[in-house]
């Protein structure tokens, strides 16, 4: 019977036959943000379903493909979509792609997501660099026996989101005239949107935005010593901030509206690495 490490190794071995060389950086694309994958040149597209043990993504706005090629003067691995805990995947499975990238030797990952705005100074369409997160999934992807081949039993999360990479993103945004906020991301597993009372609670404990991903991926990446930059697209204001209901169509529409700024920020940051 194969272990989790064996499964990750199988996926790595499969991808070694697909990559030109070790990717300089990996990018994980959130809901509605998949157009960046289309900017990759000399691209090789690998469906997740072709990669051994890799979980599919069944959410609208997630293509479910790994795109390998050139972007921003670097060789990149772009994950167009992710598997979510709320789809029924265990956290070890939903963070499988990060494990594979880390075991391949990727040292830098840019995580992106669509998030709800809690900070009342935000507007729909804002871009926010994540400075830190609050994991409210009620669980952790590192629970269970620790495999030292991945990382230590008790990884430090003091600098979960790289100060160096956050500073690079600020430089790119300033040079390109892109408005860029900073804030704290609250991670809840969903799939229901939060209630207004929950949003008031999250604001009270210091959250600026809320979403259903990213924190588990960051924990796994840092466990493996991978440097992380994470950027949220504030695609809607969270429940109770505005007097209107929430829906996934708004998320997709807003992501499409700000795609050019989002792509410019990500590509510019990759160029600076």
Q: Which residues are catalytic?
A: 31, 62, 84, 86-87, 114, 212-213, 236, 248
Q: Which helix (H) or strand (E) holds 104?
A: helix 96-104
**Which residues, in sequence order, are CB contacts of 207 under 8 Å at separation 6+?**
118, 134, 183, 184, 185, 186
| Alpha carbon distances (Å) from 24 to 19, 20, 175 | 12, 11, 23
- Give the integer Cα–Cα distance in Å for 112 and 82: 10
Cis peptide before 234 (omega within 30 of 0): no
Question: Distance between the two ends of the chain, CA-based, in angstroms?
Answer: 40
β-bridge partners, 67 = 45, 78
- Find all residues with CB under 8 Å of 186, minimum gap 6, and list them: 118, 133, 134, 136, 202, 205, 207, 209, 210, 211
Q: What would the two tokens of residue 144 be? A: 């269970």
Sign of CA dihedral 183, 188, 189, 194: negative
Residues 131, 166: contact at Cβ < 8 Å? yes
Task: Tally Cβ neighbours within 10 Å of residue 59.
Answer: 18
Best CA proximity match to 235, nearest among 246, 223, 221: 246
């Amino acid at each position: 019977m194969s272990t989790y490490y064996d499964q990750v190794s199988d996926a790595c071995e499969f991808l070694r036959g697909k990559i030109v060389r070790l990717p300089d950086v990996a990018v994980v694309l959130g809901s509605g943000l998949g157009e960046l994958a289309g900017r990759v040149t000399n691209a090789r597209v690998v469906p997740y379903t072709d990669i051994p043990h890799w979980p599919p993504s069944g959410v609208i706005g997630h293509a479910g493909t790994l795109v390998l090629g050139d972007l921003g003067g670097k060789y990149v691995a772009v994950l167009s979509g992710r598997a979510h805990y709320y789809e029924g995947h265990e956290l070890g499975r939903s963070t499988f792609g990060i494990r594979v990238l880390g075991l391949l030797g990727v040292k830098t990952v840019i995580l992106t997501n669509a998030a709800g705005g809690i900070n009342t100074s935000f507007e729909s369409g804002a871009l926010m660099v994540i400075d830190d997160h609050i994991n409210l999934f009620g669980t952790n992807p590192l629970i269970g026996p620790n495999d030292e081949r991945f990382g230590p039993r008790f990884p430090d999360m003091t600098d979960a989101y790289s100060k160096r990479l956050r500073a690079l993103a600020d430089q790119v945004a300033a040079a390109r005239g892109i408005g860029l906020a900073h804030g704290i991301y609250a991670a809840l597993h969903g799939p229901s949107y939060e209630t207004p009372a929950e949003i008031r609670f999250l604001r009270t404990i210091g959250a600026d935005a809320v979403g259903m991903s990213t924190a588990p991926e960051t924990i796994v990446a840092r466990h493996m010593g991978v440097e992380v930059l994470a950027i949220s697209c504030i695609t809607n204001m969270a429940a109770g901030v505005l007097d209107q209901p929430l829906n996934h169509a708004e998320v997709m529409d807003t992501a499409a509206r700000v795609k050019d700024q989002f792509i410019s920020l990500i590509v510019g940051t990759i160029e600076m690495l």
